[in-house]
Structure 1
Amino acid sequence: MVNKSINSCIDSSIDISKEEVLRYLEYKGQHIDNNLNDLIDDCIKMTKEKINPRYYLRVYPILRDKDNSSKSIFLKDSSLKFESNDLYKLLYKCDECIILATTLGINIEKEIRKYSYTDLTKSIVLDACATTSIEELCDSIGRTLSKELNKEGKYLTMRYSPGYGDLSIESNRDIIDTLNLNKNLGLTITSNSIMIPRKSVIAIIGITSEKIKNENKKCTMCSNYTNCRYRKGDEDNGCKGIYKE
């Protein structure tokens, strides 16, 4: 189903939005002079040349405790288990979920690190461009998955990553081991739970037969609202992850 068809459907080209780059640079309406504007354009071009967008995904049936005494999510045919009230609520009406892993590769990391010694401003802008790129890759995959599943009368939830809300970031390690992402994607994790390459994302996406109302998620609904530097505002969706039809 998804596993078999998605490889030929996803366009891995990345459209890097300058508006999103500015958001990750914590732009709040300040004046942008020509030098900075040109630098951002140059960094967007360089990022497109250096990234190697790749992904790996698997679909798992969801298992739960029969008595619902715990808020644990188990994935059939794997050792994966998630203890999270937030994820339990997200997947409440889902029988399956997708585990998605994406990465931009190591070359863009090398460029960011190189310029951190010689041109810190350029390094920071490159980092923002890379962050925008990995988010756009996830969004592109999400849109394609959504279209494919809609044909089967199925729908996707928003994506949810370890480290969000009450889902432990340590879950990334279990996912990397279970999906053998070191071999399949070149993705590893440090003892401090930092993924290498750093511009990588692991996400859990629910599959449901019940049509989802794709309303924008308010920033104020997020458990990280008070300490998020990138939120757009009380009434705007500062995050990406809800896939519209």
Structure 2
Amino acid sequence: MPIYNPPLRTVDIKETRRYAGLSAADFSEQAIIAACNEMVYLAEPRGSWEMYNYDNIKGIVSASVPFRLQGSKILKHLSHSEKVILLSVTAGSNIETAIEKNFHEGSYTHGLLLDAAATAAVEQVADGLEKNIDISIKPLGYKRIWRFSPGYGDWDISCQPHMLRLTNASAIGIEYTSSMMLTPRKSVTAIIGLVPETDPFTPQRPSCATCPQKNCSSRIQ
């Protein structure tokens, strides 16, 4: 299974502000920039992924041990996919130590901003892995649709053991707890559908405009 070990040169300031729940200028721009800059040095970004055939009628990923997907939204999302890519990414465990240290020492603002920057960082790693995957799928005549993670819609996180097994996530240090949370905490698993380039199907991306959670602190106005 391919291992992705990218450099993290910057962390998105706008996304960090959003993940921190700052719809207005609650904190100074300098404080946010400082957290993003520190995250560049703290993060240990890694990813792993694998491609599988997919039965879009039965919703089964054709692995050595078949993986049946459960949930109407994920099945609809992949309804035109002939293959899928399962991926795992992490920003590493150093981050959690630094965040906990800041909260323990009473630096709550910086700890909160580091946590938000870490969320932005792991999403950037996943974005970069997607672009890296394009090199492999384009010669096969496929296009990728946007990634879908356990916990979105009605796709339950109880599938995490399968996701980690099928992406060899242990090779990059990702495990799961009894409550199906990932460790290190700033880690993500996802599935990407591969649709024939000739198929016009494009699933609608989730957005704040279509989300029913009107009071979400991360909502983009």
Interval containing the TM-score (normalised by the shorter chain): 0.7 to 0.9
Distance 1:203 1:227 in 2: 26
Task: Report what 2:40 is aligned to.
Answer: 48
In structure 1, the residue matched to 2:8 is 13
Aligned to 1:170, what secondary structure does the other structure show? helix
State the SS of the aligned residue for 2:194: strand
Partner of 1:241: none
CA contact (8 A) 1:188 1:197 kept: yes
Matched, 1:107 2:99: no
* TM-superposed deviation, 1:74: 1.1
2:87/2:191 contact within 8 Å kept: yes
**1:159 aligned residue:** 147
Question: Which residue is equivalent to 1:117?
Answer: 104
Match of 1:229 among 206, 217, 221: 217
Pairwise CA distance, 1:230 = 1.4
Deviations along 1:140-186, whole A, 9 cap, x unmatched? 1122323543344311111111111000011112222344422x121
Query: Within 5 A, what are the aligned runs for 1:50-199?
Result: 50-64=42-56, 72-79=58-65, 80-118=67-105, 119-146=107-134, 148-182=136-170, 184-199=171-186
Cα drift, residue 211 of structure 1? 4.5
- TM-score, normalised to structure 1, is 0.79
Counterparts of 1:191 and 1:105, CA distance in 2: 20
Gaps of 5+ in 2: none
Alignment partners' CA distance in 2, 1:20 and 1:231:
11
Whichever residue aligns with residue 204 of structure 1, its letter is: I
Report SS of the residue matched to 1:161.
coil
Change (3 A) 1:63 1:115: same
Normalising by structure 2, report the TM-score. Answer: 0.87
By how many angstroms is 1:41 displaced?
2.1
> Does the Cα contact within 8 Å between 1:156 and 1:212 map onto a contact in 2?
no
Could you tell me how far apart the structure 1 residues matched to 2:26 and 2:214 are?
Answer: 26
User: How far apart are the structure 2 equivalents of 1:175 and 1:150?
Assistant: 24
Checking the alignment, whether the CA contact within 8 Å between 1:172 and 1:193 is kept in structure 2 is yes
Q: CA deviation at 1:12?
A: 3.6
> Post-superposition shift, 1:205?
0.5
In the TM superposition, structure 1's runs of 4+ consecutive aligned residues that sit over 4 Å from their partners are: 211-217
Which ranges of structure 1 fall in alignment gaps of 5 or more residues? 234-245
Q: How many Å separate the matches in 1 of 2:152 and 2:114? A: 24
Q: Structure 1 residues 215 and 179, CA, compared in 2 at 3 Å: closer, same or farther?
A: closer
* Partner Cα separation in structure 1 for residue 216 and residue 93 of structure 2: 26
Instruction: Flag the 1:117–1:173 CA change in 2: closer, same or farther, 3 A.
Output: same
CA separation in 1, counterparts of 2:47 and 2:178?
A: 23
Out of 5, 8, 25, which is 1:30 matched to?
25
8 Å contact 1:14–1:136 — kept in the other structure? no
Amino acid at match of 2:220: K
Aligned to 2:188, the other structure's residue is in SS state strand
Amino acid at match of 1:160: F
Post-superposition shift, 1:220? 3.8
Equivalenced residue count is 217
* Contact preservation (8 Å) 2:23, 2:217: no
Once superposed, what is the RMSD of the aligned Cα atoms?
2.4
Work out the CA distance in 2 between the residues paired with 1:193 and 1:93: 29
CA shift, 1:49, in A, is 0.6
